[in-house]
Chains A and B, each alone.
Chain A
Amino acid sequence: MMLTPELFIQHFFNALALGSLYGLIAIGYTMVYGILRLINFAHGDIFMLGAYFVFFSTIAFMPAWLAALLVAIALLIMFTTFRDKSKATPAWYWGAQALLLGLAGYYGFISPVEFQPPWVLAVFFAIAVTSACGIVVDRVAYQPLRDAPRISALISAIGISFLIENLGVVVFSGLPRAVRQPDMLVKPIIANISAITGNADSVVRISPMALIVPSVSLLLVSGLLWIIYRTKPGLAMRSISKDIETTRLMGVSVNKVIALTFALGSALAAASGIMWALRYPQIHPYMGVLPGFKAFIAAVFGGIGSIHGAMLGGLILGFIEVFITATFPALSGYRDAFAFVLLIVILLWKPTGIMGARTEEKI
């Protein structure tokens, strides 16, 4: 089927939105793989959790005591993980914990109030709680297997992924839920492109999300790159990815850095889960599986371990999916296979991906 310029531009923006979402999820995979050589199968499910937490705090009227309790638990998890044991616990920390638990108790037993924060606050709430979930996943499923064969950790990853999905079915129920999109995100931007086509009434309609998603992704990726290349924990991360044993000998508390990696990766997953839910406003416990797989493929394609590569891989995958479906409508039923074909092609042609570093491990 021939693509008119109009159609091409329309498809371009569709692909941009999809691709940058894949890219954002792919970064989480690539970070963990770069450091631990582990495919974090649960990443797609963390993504799902992020979407659910926003859903519950903005639409489903989570009781305030539950929200306070969740935040308290999240704070506790982060604090116990990242605490510098040589220093005394600051008083403000226990103060914050006491305040939150007090709030939880107050709202839980005395005054039933619903937690319905403004959007921005809800997003921060979701990201914080989801990061804590990421740390818990690492602690429960991966840390005990740090010295085990890599495949054991991978099986554990698959196991924890199924556990989160099934737990999601029990806690959230298997019913898909509708996410309410703020109006400004729904109204398409209508752009006249007569300058390009020469046809006076040729327009393209761009969903605001198609512009917001890439911009937010760019922002988050820059932040992440700053952490990795300009801060001390980032230095430790890079060092672990080169040689975990030596890094340990240098006095770096490896588990803490890995936990930080999971926290950051999960925060990104939460952010992409939220944006995914805003673009495709329906969430269910299995929503993370397919985007998760595809994002992982994007990470491999871009060169696993490379942040730029993951973003690029995600974009390329998005463009491939959209443009093959657009130019060969007869293949639209095979769309989900494109990603897997791409994976196999890249694994055979250049297993390190388009931006990956060479590694010795070949067999």
Chain B
Amino acid sequence: MNNSAMHRAYTLCAVVLLFAILFYAENNLDTYSIQILNLVAINAILAVSLNLIYGFTGMFSLGHAGFMAIGAYVCTVLILTPEQKESMWILEAIHPWLANLSLPFLLAVVVGGIAASLVGLIIAIPVLRLGGDYLGIATLGFAEIIRVVITNAAPFTNGSLGIKGIPQYANLWCNYGWLVVTVYVIVRLLRSNVGNVFKAIRDDEIAARTMGVNTFYYRVLSFCVGAFFAGVGGALTAALISTIDPKMFTFMLTFNILMIVVAGGLGSITGSIVGSIIITFMLEWLRIVENPISLGDFEIPGIPGMRMVIFSVMLMCIILFRREGLLGMREFSWDALARFVKNPVRFFSRASRSTSGASGK
């Protein structure tokens, strides 16, 4: 058995182990903890997809909330029963095209992703001519336009009333299954030649173009794949939380995902996953600062809003003092793990050297 085959076997074992842990979690944890685990998976899907666009291809996109909204709405409209639709669209009747449309959940998620990806394509063709911060602002603008359109297109989306009672299909298995699929697809993509082109565009677009690469095509490709998984993430969010409305998909949502990506490390899939675990748990854990804390007779009243202040401060610290994020551009690999197990001290000293090299970019 050669090295790569062994690594593949290890990876398979790790996935099996993950699902074994999920099996344990499903039967032993309360719904609150399971909800957090679900959010971790969805955030990881979103973070990995944004990382593909921004961290690996270097396109600063702030449009993730828009793609999520499309995925969520398309998927939701497809999985509701005709009766539910009729009773929910109380102000303006649902558009006859949609009234009887119905698909199984898994297919609906895929369709949601494809829809997001198509919208991504439509946006990409004009917008990807821009670069840097202009691209960020333009994609942010598109996300806002999508939100305003959803708000106003009541026959299709039920407008600001939103949709509730969405069947909660997005259980642990489904979310983590999609996470595995996302990571697999994106890692395969990045390890292929396409991935190299992405990274070349990120590092120096002009150089890539002079080498004869059709950079525009690859930028659009990366953008659409990212949009697809953002749409999937949105669809899963809808089926997890069971209600959606246009106000969910604001810039705040994009910001949270961006923060996961930045905290984990731009250009590191491992970093995005670690980042989503840490940030999702931290956001939950930080709730304690808003609850009153009693020290014997003395009670410190909770300060509403304090949690987001602490969260913002922590993120500012990451941006200012560890710009490359927790993992920089490093990835998990079995070789690295083996090195770590053999000699942890040397592992870290080498690791820090390689990061300082990477951050000089």
A interface residue numbers (CB < 8 A to B)? 37-39, 140-141, 144-145, 148-152, 154-156, 158-160, 162-163, 166-167, 169-170, 173-174, 293, 296-297, 300, 333-334, 336-337, 340-341, 343-344, 347-348, 351, 361-363
6 of the cross-chain contacts (CB-CB < 8 Å) are: A145-B323, A159-B316, A160-B316, A300-B134, A333-B151, A334-B152
Question: Would you call B305 and A166 a contact (CB within 8 A)?
Answer: yes
**Chain B residues in 8 Å Cβ range of A160:** 316
Choose among A37, A155, A166 the residue that contacts B312 (Cβ–Cβ < 8 A): A166
Please determine whether A158 and B255 come into contact, CB atoms closer than 8 angstroms: yes
Q: Are B304 and A169 in touch, CB under 8 angstroms?
A: yes
User: A159-B316, A363-B129 known; 19 other A-B pairs, CB under 8 Å?
Assistant: A38-B133, A39-B133, A39-B137, A145-B319, A151-B132, A152-B319, A152-B323, A166-B309, A170-B304, A170-B305, A170-B309, A174-B305, A296-B137, A297-B141, A336-B144, A336-B148, A344-B126, A344-B141, A363-B131
Chain A residue with the shortest CB-CB distance to B151: A333
Hey, which bits of chain B sit against chain A, CB under 8 A?
60, 126-127, 129-134, 136-138, 141-142, 144-145, 148-149, 151-152, 205-206, 255, 258-259, 262, 303-306, 308-309, 311-313, 315-316, 319-320, 323, 361
Residues of B within 8 A of A169 (CB): 304-305, 308
Neighbouring A residues of B149 by C-beta, 8 Å: 334, 337
A334 near B303 (CB under 8 angstroms)? no
B126, B138, B311: most-surrounded residue (chain A CB, <10 A): B138
Tell me how far the C-beta of B56 lies from the nearest C-beta in chain A, rounded to whole angstroms: 14
CB atoms of B145 and A341 under 8 A apart: yes
Residues of A close to B151: CB separation below 8 A = 333
For residue A37, which residues in chain B have a CB less than 8 angstroms away from its CB? Answer: 133
A154 to B316, CA, bound (A): 12
Please give the distance in Å from B50's CB to the nearest CB on chain A.
12
Could you tell me the distance between the alpha carbons of A333 and B145 in the complex, rounded to whole angstroms? 12
**How far is the CB of B214 from the nearest CB of chain A, in Å?**
14
B145 lies within 8 A of A162 (CB): no
Q: What are the 3 A-B residue pairs with the smallest beta carbon separation, nearest first?
A: A340-B141, A169-B305, A163-B312
Known: A169-B304, A169-B308, A344-B126. A154 touches B142 (CB 8 A): no
Q: Once the chains bind, are A162 and B308 in contact (CB under 8 Å)?
A: yes
Given contacts A155-B319, A159-B316, contact A170 B306 (CB under 8 A): yes
CB contacts (< 8 Å) of A337 on chain B: these are: 144-145, 148-149
Tell me whether A163 and B130 are in contact (CB under 8 A). Answer: no
Q: A166-B309, A170-B309 are in contact. Are A344 and B316 (CB under 8 A)?
A: no
A333 pairs with B152, CB closer than 8 A: yes
- With a cutoff of 8 Å between Cβ atoms, the chain B residues found around residue A38 in the complex are 133
A141–B304 Cα distance when bound, in Å, is: 25
Q: Give the CA-CA distance A336 to B143 in the complex, in Å.
A: 12
Given contacts A151-B133, A363-B206, A344 and B305 within 8 Å (CB-CB): no
Complex Cα–Cα for A344 and B133 (A): 13
- B316 contacts A156, CB within 8 Å? yes
Is B148 in contact with A334, judged by CB distance below 8 angstroms? yes
For A351, list chain B residues within 8 Å (CB).
130, 134
Residue of A nearest to B130 (CB): A347
Decide: A154 near B205, CB < 8 A? Known: A166-B308, A361-B131: no
Query: Which of B142, B148, B308, B320 makes the CB contact (< 8 A) with A344?
Result: B142
Q: Which residues of A contact B306 (CB under 8 A)?
A: 170
Q: Is the CB of B138 within 8 A of A344?
A: yes
Chain B residue nearest to A171 in the complex (CB) = B305
Nearest Cβ on chain B to A357's Cβ, whole angstroms: 15
Q: Which residues of A contact B136 (CB under 8 A)?
A: 151, 154
Most buried by B among A38, A296, A337, A348: A337
Are B129 and A145 within 8 A (Cβ)? no
B127-A344 in contact (CB<8A): yes
Q: Identify B60's interface contact among A145, A154, A162, A363, CB under 8 A.
A: A154
B304 contact set on A, CB distance < 8 A: 169-170, 173-174
**Which residues from chain B contact A341 at a C-beta distance below 8 Å?**
141, 145
Contacts of B316 in A (CB 8 A): 140-141, 156, 159-160, 163
